[in-house]
Structure 1
């Protein structure tokens, strides 16, 4: 049964956090979660990132911090895989220690980490600055790597241009029991929304009847199950319209729609523009 898998993270020796660089293989990771904070800087490659129920495009310079237990994954576009890479930091509140976090000097960082529990997205110039700093930290000794992490967190906490993911768009604010029930459903959506999606299969992943599942899903996400499926498909189609020159009909089928006319109507209702006009708007910029 498909589900959001738990990843176990073990810093080497007595190290307090993990700092690693990854190539294209890292983007094959399934929709998963862990008990650590994760700071991810994308060095190359483009695709879709999925955090809780939130989805968005990513590319070089993308910087995201997410809190513990939030299911997530990054999926590459096949045409953008050769130079794909990321620098990833995993740390916990134990990394800093409750005594240190309680100090006045750490007040901004402590509040920042609380905000980050549902996810925060950063853009240039701060994302590029942090990306360069993370790259340099890999060559530091253990002590300066640790103090460098503190500097990075302080710098991020000072950024006023960051975007906190909407609580409405994430499963992170759900109680643990509800997270365990809804996460397999989003794992199923992430892997299957571009093909055939079955309400019955999604309901079975949540151990519910289809009728009970529909009520539960809307109460939890404030959207119906099919609204969420269509949102995933339309967002993927929008990405393809901007980043490729594929015919609209091909994009329609590759996004999970079996009827081009229905795709046109759904896209226009969601994006307020037809697929062709949406593409033309971005070609002008």
Structure 2
């Protein structure tokens, strides 16, 4: 994936970084870094990008991103409240060289290997996890490290998980092209409710239509308009859950001019109709 390299630095001599991020927006661009990263959403909602996966996020969203896996979070423009997350970052020498190969850490080794594709933990009790993460933030250094390693061990046994990127996704890291992907993401977020023309997007990144399509497909292992439909359907799900609007109005609000096409896309990405999705969510 073509993304911006980010150098993670620490102002202390700690083995890892653990901090609270709170601001008007998640302002980090589409980026990657050698460190592993856990991100828990305390407050805010929007769209999460990990590799070639595009999903909505909200309070309680908890994701592990592997080394050099491109990612970013974009809170929805309509949402004016501040965003807040708990973030933990660490590298593969957190306990020294070759620690991960020791018998005691085999479960954690398996977890971190799976993290290369991104992992979402479906929490049944997000408040409990939030308290556990806050405990790590406030402990003295030695206890902080012990609690964090215990957290990784606990997560390695977690059953309710989703792999985020598809089997065919292989990141191609190229710093030179990172701004193109970022521009495309921002453009789709700002214009998903309108008709999006290929020529407008390719012009935005100073490429011809065919060259842009090849570039995007190579970068995300999916076509540009598949990406657009994923974004729109994710936002459709948000509106189905949070509003009482008619399905036809929601489809129109998310940029769909044809209802039959909208229904086909919803079935393709969600595996059910919009009304069935809404009923399932209400029962949860």
TM-score (norm 2): 0.80
**Per-residue deviation, 1:119:** 0.7
C-alpha contact (below 8 Å) 2:24/2:80 kept by paired residues = no
- 1:123: which partner in 2? 122
TM-score (norm 1): 0.80
- 1:188: which partner in 2? 183
- 1:45: which partner in 2? 44
Structure 1 residue runs of 5 or longer lacking an equivalent are none
Cα distance change on mapping 1:28 and 1:176 into 2, 3 Å: closer
Partner SS for 1:117? helix
- 1: CA distance, partners of 2:172 / 2:61: 29
C-alpha contact (below 8 Å) 1:185/1:202 kept by paired residues = no
- 1:99: which partner in 2? 98
Structure 2 residue runs of 5 or longer lacking an equivalent are none
Asked if 1:176 corresponds to 2:155, the answer is no
Residues 78-121 of structure 1: CA deviation (Å, up to 9, x unaligned): 56553632111111112232232222111221221111122111
Aligned residue runs from structure 1 range 164-243, under 5 A: 164-168=163-167, 170=169, 173-177=170-174, 181=177, 184-193=179-188, 194=192, 195=194, 197-200=196-199, 209-215=208-214, 217-218=216-217, 221-243=220-242
- 1:35: which partner in 2? 34
Residues 35-61 of structure 1: CA deviation (Å, up to 9, x unaligned): 221101111222221112211122222
**Per-residue deviation, 1:33:** 2.5
Residues 138-168 of structure 1: CA deviation (Å, up to 9, x unaligned): 1111111111111111111121322222434
Partner SS for 1:28? coil
| Number of residue pairs matched by the alignment | 278
Structure 1 window deviating more from structure 2 (24-33 vs 201-210): it is 201-210
Partner SS for 2:26? helix
Higher share in helix: 1
- 2:19: which partner in 1? 20
- 2: CA distance, partners of 1:94 / 1:26: 31
- 2: CA distance, partners of 1:165 / 1:223: 14
Structure 1 window deviating more from structure 2 (21-30 vs 271-280): it is 271-280
C-alpha contact (below 8 Å) 1:24/1:82 kept by paired residues = no
